[in-house]
Amino acid sequence: MLDLSIIVVAYNSQDLLQATLESLARYTRGVSYELIVVDSSPSPGIELMDQQAESLRLIRNPQNAGFAAANNIGLKLSQGRYIALLNPDTLLHDDALSALVSWLDAHPDVGAAGPQLLQSDGQPQPYSHGSAPTPGYLMRRILSHLRSSYLHDWAGSQPQPADWVAGTCMIVRRSAFEAVGGLDERFFLYFEDVDWGWRLRRAGWPVMFVPGVKITHIGGGSIGPHARRHYDRSLVRLYAKYYGALAGFGVWLALRLYRRLQSVARRGSR
């Protein structure tokens, strides 16, 4: 069995994807792997260089059904002991994926792990990992945002448990994936990784943030112009799934108020 299946979902990100594939070829050593690119771009879609076409599988997705659905196509085709989800706007260095495979081999009880994400300026990226968005946590997070602060320290020096790690780059053990199934396709974009972490932990598979492993996330490569709408809709769906329809409706109302307060704050700062 291969050590690793790497799944990259692409959407109108040709230049960024090219850089990601080049970094993968350069910095994925010491493990056997397959590379699956699922292209959800409208026609004509992603084009690969001749030498790349021989070393990976390119799946043309006839319709853009969302990030979770596209990753599930790759998950069904994957054959590795571990499965990595990787955004097409990331840059690997220092054999990051190989290091995560080695770390998981040394910790067989862990179901999934994610690295430290770095912004283009080398600073830790917010939301590389986090806590489950319980009602109390959500209120604390909204209040911290209104104060332009964060609840977490996104840097770190030692591995630590997390309720979820970002789907930007995460590695899942095959046995853990088989225990909980793929991503929930009701989440078109955002919170599919939070939901997966929730399900993994409920099934007895811890999720870990491993800051000793780092990759760069350029960001914004494929999300499109409706990111905020997808974010809010997915958060409402997450609450409806775990807390019921009434809770989902309450989050919808809270988000409308929060967005209104954001708009007022922006106007006041001009």
Question: Which 8-state DSSP code applies to residue 204?
Answer: T
Q: What is the pLDDT of residues 187-203, one digit of tens each?
A: 999 999 999 999 999 99
pLDDT at 200: 98
- From 232, 190, 207, 227, select the one nearest 129 (Cα to Cα): 207
Q: Is the pLDDT of residue 85 over 90?
A: yes
pLDDT at 40: 85
- From 260, 256, 213, 242, select the one nearest 86 (Cα to Cα): 213
- The DSSP H or E segment spanning 36 is strand 33-39
Confidence of residue 256 (pLDDT cuts 50, 70, 90): confident
Instruction: Answer with the residue of higher pLDDT: 131 or 210.
Output: 210
Confidence of residue 6 (pLDDT cuts 50, 70, 90): very high
Q: Could you give phi then psi for residue 217, rounded to 5 degrees?
A: -115, 110
Confidence of residue 117 (pLDDT cuts 50, 70, 90): very high
Q: What is the pLDDT of residues 13-64, one digit of tens each?
A: 778 888 999 999 899 999 999 999 998 887 666 776 655 555 689 898 888 8
pLDDT at 257: 86
Joined tokens for residue 50: 């001749």
Q: What is the mean pLDDT of the chain?
A: 88
Distances (CA, A) of 207 to 149, 152, 189, 192, 196: 25, 17, 21, 15, 10
Joined tokens for residue 125: 């990226």
191 by Cβ neighbours in 10 Å (0-12 / 13-18 / 19+) ranks as buried
